[in-house]
Structure formats: structure tokens, C-alpha cells
């Protein structure tokens, strides 16, 4: 997926309403650490996704609530989340 100069891989865009992606990990602690890093990024950006944590799995879903759809804020956040995942 690529819009506005942002390149995303593996994210699903449901009718331009929400972006979602599943991230897989070897164990619960690694997944939890990732969730905490995503939370810190979300605070920095002032844009907060829904995050679902399970053993070895993190599901992230984002959309701009005010707009009711995916905006550039979501694309930028998704790109940052990917960077966190691939830099671990």
C-alpha cells in the first residue's frame, strides 16, 4: 500500500475505513515490549491505535475517529509502527 509518499507492507485497508495489521512474535514478553513501544510512538504522534495483545501476537488497528476513515495520520503512524517492528 502506498499513498502520500508512505510505503506500507502487509497492512489491510478496509474500504478506506481502517488500517490493520497483525505482528507475530516468539513469546508474550516480546509482544508486550512491542506494544509498549507502539504506545510510546502513539503518544509522541498524538494519534492512538487500537492494540490487541495475545501470546506472541499483536493486532493493531488505526483510523482517524474524527474523520471516520483512514487519514494521513494513520499512514504515518502505520509506517512508524513498521519501523519499530523491523528495527527490533
How does DSSP classify residue 28?
A: H
Structural domain including 44 reads 18-86
* Contact criterion met (CB below 8 Å) for 81 and 29: no
Q: Does the pLDDT value for residue 49 go beyond 60?
A: yes
Give tens-digit pLDDT for 11-33.
999 877 999 999 999 999 999 99
Counted domains in the chain: 1
Decide if 8 is inside a domain.
Answer: no
Q: In this structure, what CATH number is given to the domain that contains residue 26?
A: 3.30.1360.20
Tell which wins on pLDDT, 47 or 9: 47
Q: Does the pLDDT value for residue 7 go beyond 70?
A: no
Decide if 62 is inside a domain.
Answer: yes
pLDDT grade, residue 81 (50/70/90)? very high
Closest CA to 4 of 81, 58, 60, 71: 71
* Packing angle of the helix pair 72-86, 28-45 (nearest 10 deg): 140
Query: Whole-number mean pLDDT of the chain?
Result: 91
* Contact criterion met (CB below 8 Å) for 52 and 59: yes
Residue 35 CB coordination number (10 Å): 17
Amino acid at each position: 500500500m502506498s499513498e502520500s509518499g508512505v510505503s506500507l507492507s502487509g497492512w489491510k485497508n478496509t474500504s478506506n475505513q481502517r488500517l490493520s495489521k497483525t505482528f507475530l512474535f516468539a513469546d508474550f514478553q516480546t509482544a508486550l515490549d512491542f506494544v509498549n513501544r507502539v504506545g510510546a510512538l502513539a503518544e509522541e504522534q498524538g494519534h492512538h491505535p487500537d492494540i490487541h495483545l495475545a501470546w506472541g501476537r499483536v493486532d493493531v488497528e488505526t483510523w482517524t475517529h474524527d474523520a471516520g476513515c483512514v487519514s494521513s495520520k494513520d499512514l504515518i503512524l502505520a509506517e512508524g509502527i513498521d519501523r519499530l517492528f523491523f528495527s527490533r
